[in-house]
Amino acid sequence: MARQIHLIVVGKLKDSHLEAIEADYLKRINNPELLIHEVKASAENKEAEGEALIKKIKELGGGHVVAMTEWGKRYTSVSFAEWSRNILDRSNKLILIIAGAEGFSSEVLSLCQERLSLSELTFPHKLARILLVEQLYRAQTIRSGHPYHN
């Protein structure tokens, strides 16, 4: 089975500049493949978004599921590259989730094996998405010895 990283996000970017930045990184990421899945944001509540997230996780057939949250574990870029390599060596599939503005439902969090943070700072969801995609590219370059990280 090919190794894959899946990023499940609530909502769309809706910003052509950010879409262009993301597309540029997506063109570069190839080991492992990164697939982005957008689920509909819900004005109702985080439980409705949680149901959409759970449905997508189940469609992907499992893997190592990680909630991206400000209260999660923090890594340096180098340790994140090693962490992601270890996860992919064990399960072949890493599923990272960015929730909507209301955060994660308890049901979604119960499906997650880990919680990860990009920073002690809080970012808008669309910027967190771009930062995470960039860090996934950076991790790829670190693992391959490419000088991008230097």
Q: Is the dihedral of CA 51, 128, 88, 109 positive or negative?
A: negative
Q: Please tell me the predicted confidence (pLDDT) of residue 2.
A: 76
Describe the crossing of helices 125-144 and 16-28 by its angle, rounded to 10 degrees.
Answer: 20
**Higher pLDDT residue, 9 or 46?**
9
pLDDT above 80 for 145: yes
Average pLDDT over residues 129-134: 98
| Average predicted confidence (pLDDT) for the chain | 94
Task: Indicate the SS3 state at residue 49.
Answer: helix
What whole-number distance in Å separates Cα of residue 62 and Cα of residue 41?
A: 22
Residues 81-109 have a mean pLDDT of 94
Judge whether residue 150 has pLDDT over 80. Answer: no
Tell me how far apart the alpha carbons of residues 113 and 97 are, in angstroms, rounded to a whole number: 12
Three-class SS state of 6: strand
Express as a percent the part of the chain with pLDDT over 70: 99
Tell me the pLDDT tens digit for each residue of 11-29.
999 999 999 999 999 999 9
pLDDT number for residue 1: 58
Those residues whose C-beta lies under 8 Å from the C-beta of residue 72, and which sit 6 or more positions away, are: 66, 114, 115, 116, 117
What pLDDT score was predicted for residue 107? Answer: 95
Instruction: Give the domains, in start order, of the chain with CATH numbers.
Output: 4-143 (3.40.1280.10)
Q: Is the pTM of this model over 0.85?
A: yes
Q: What's 65-109 look like in SS3?
A: EEEEEEEEEECCHHHHHHHHHHHHHHHCEEEEEECECCECCHHHH
The tens digit of pLDDT for each residue in 27-37 reads 999 988 999 99
